[in-house]
């Protein structure tokens, strides 16, 4: 039986090794501990062990855990699909929404952020794998949106997010991540002044090393942190 602390150390070592292999500075890469598999108590243990950024893919689950763990300075990240009718309750709780996948959602977030008088930080989720079951803008859809992003004046678009296709091997995962990085580099020249597409949220338990080699700045890791932990 391993502890969450052992798992976290091991993941951090692997992140550091991948960064070194990529010739990158490890401080450029943030670990988002994905707590969707565990209850609030276990999420709290992960936080106590030194993982300050926690991610949930379902808004209701994030609300619940944020409520259970109010006393902590946890930085919450929403990494899964957000319906427009859940924006109001989610926005005040989160540091970053990784999964903005429609213009309609972007507009809803902008409107709520205006009411809160606090800019909302988001990433655009891009479907780079072409997997029809996945959320996210197609690259073409996103490209159309880019020049008009300044319309959403209460939203700060901080970068892009993507997932590799379900069950892809290391080579095709790496190709998908390279594609996201290339889109980011190209789109940075097409977005209105003041928008910096700095963040690339890519890489999960099965493929985070490939993602780091391709420039990931945020890896979203769940299973590897909780596997065999008691
Ligand atoms: C579940 C989930 C993760 C973490 O997946 P693991 O393979 O358990 O590390 C990362 N990103 C998203 C969007 C997820 O839904």
Parse the chain into domains and list their residue ranges: 4-226
Distance 150 CA to ligand 1 centre (A): 30
Which residue has a Cα nearest atom 11 of ligand 1?
Answer: 220
Q: Which of 222, 228, 229 to mutate for ligand 1's pocket (most ligand atoms within 8 Å of CB)?
A: 222
Q: 212 burial class (0-12, 13-18, 19+ CB within 10 angstroms)?
A: buried
State the Cα–Cα distance between residues 22 and 18, nearest whole angstrom. Answer: 6
Q: How far is CA 133 from CA 26, 110, 152, 170, in A?
A: 33, 27, 28, 20
Written as six digits, the tokens of 51 are 């993982």
The pair phi, psi for residue 221, each rounded to 5°, is -125, 125
Bridge partner residues of 220 (DSSP): 32
Q: According to the model, what pLDDT value does residue 129 have?
A: 86
CATH number of the structural domain 4-226: 3.20.20.10
Nearest-angstrom CA–CA distance, 18 and 215: 11
- State in Å: Cα 1 to ligand 1 middle: 22
Beta-carbon contacts of residue 50 (< 8 Å; ≥ 6 apart): 5, 8
Per-residue pLDDT tens digits for 175-221: 999 999 999 999 999 999 999 999 999 999 999 999 999 999 999 99
| Cβ atoms of 229 and 9 closer than 8 Å | no
Alpha carbon of 123 to ligand 1 centroid (Å) = 16
Closest to 221 in 3D by CA, of 72, 1, 18: 18
113 CA → ligand 1 middle, Å: 26
Which tokens in the block code for residue 165? 């296709």
Return d(Cα 80, Cα 99) in angstroms, integer.
6
Q: Rg of the chain over CA atoms, in angstroms?
A: 17
Q: Please, are residues 26 and 16 in contact by the beta-carbon 8 Å criterion?
A: yes
Atom of ligand 1 nearest to the CA of 205: 9
Q: What is the mean pLDDT, run by run of 10 residues, along the chain of 230 residues?
A: 88 98 98 97 95 98 96 93 98 98 98 97 95 90 96 98 92 96 97 96 98 98 86
Distance 34 CA to ligand 1 centre (A): 6
Q: Nearest 5°: CA angle at 215, between 213 and 217?
A: 120
148: which 2 tokens? 């008009």
What pLDDT does residue 230 have?
A: 54
Which residue in the block uniquely carries the two structure tokens 């929404």? 97
Q: Which segments of the chain are extended strands (E)? A: 30-34, 53-56, 75-78, 96-100, 120-125, 155-161, 199-201, 218-221
Q: Which of 223, 226, 219, 224 is nearest to 77 (CA)?
A: 219
Query: Do 91 and 148 contact (CB within 8 A), yes or no?
Result: no
Pocket of ligand 1 (CB under 6 A): 34, 36, 57, 79-80, 204-206, 220-223
Q: Which atom of ligand 1 is nearest to the CA of 36?
A: 1
Q: Which helix (H) or strand (E) holds 213?
A: helix 208-213
């Amino acid at each position: 039986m391993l502890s969450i602390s052992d798992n976290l150390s091991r993941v951090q070592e692997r992140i550091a090794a991948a960064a070194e292999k990529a010739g990158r500075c490890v401080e450029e890469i943030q670990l988002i501990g994905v707590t969707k598999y565990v209850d609030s108590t276990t999420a709290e243990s992960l936080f106590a062990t030194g993982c300050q950024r926690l991610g949930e893919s379902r808004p209701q689950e994030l609300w619940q855990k944020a409520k259970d763990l109010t006393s902590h300075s946890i930085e919450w990240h929403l990494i899964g699909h957000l319906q427009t009718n859940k924006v109001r309750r989610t926005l005040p709780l989160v540091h970053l929404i990784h999964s903005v996948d429609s213009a309609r959602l972007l507009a809803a977030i902008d409107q709520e952020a205006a009411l809160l008088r606090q800019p909302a930080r988001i990433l655009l989720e891009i479907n780079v794998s072409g997997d029809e079951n996945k959320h996210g803008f197609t690259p073409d859809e996103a490209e159309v949106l880019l020049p008009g992003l300044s319309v959403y004046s209460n939203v700060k678009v901080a970068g892009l997010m993507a997932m590799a296709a379900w069950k892809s091997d290391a080579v095709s995962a790496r190709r998908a991540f390279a594609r996201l990085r290339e889109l980011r580099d190209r789109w940075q020249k097409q977005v209105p002044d003041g928008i910096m597409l700095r963040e690339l949220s890519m890489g999960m338990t099965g493929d985070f090393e490939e993602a780091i080699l391709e420039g990931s700045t945020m890896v979203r890791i769940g299973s590897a942190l909780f596997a065999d932990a008691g």
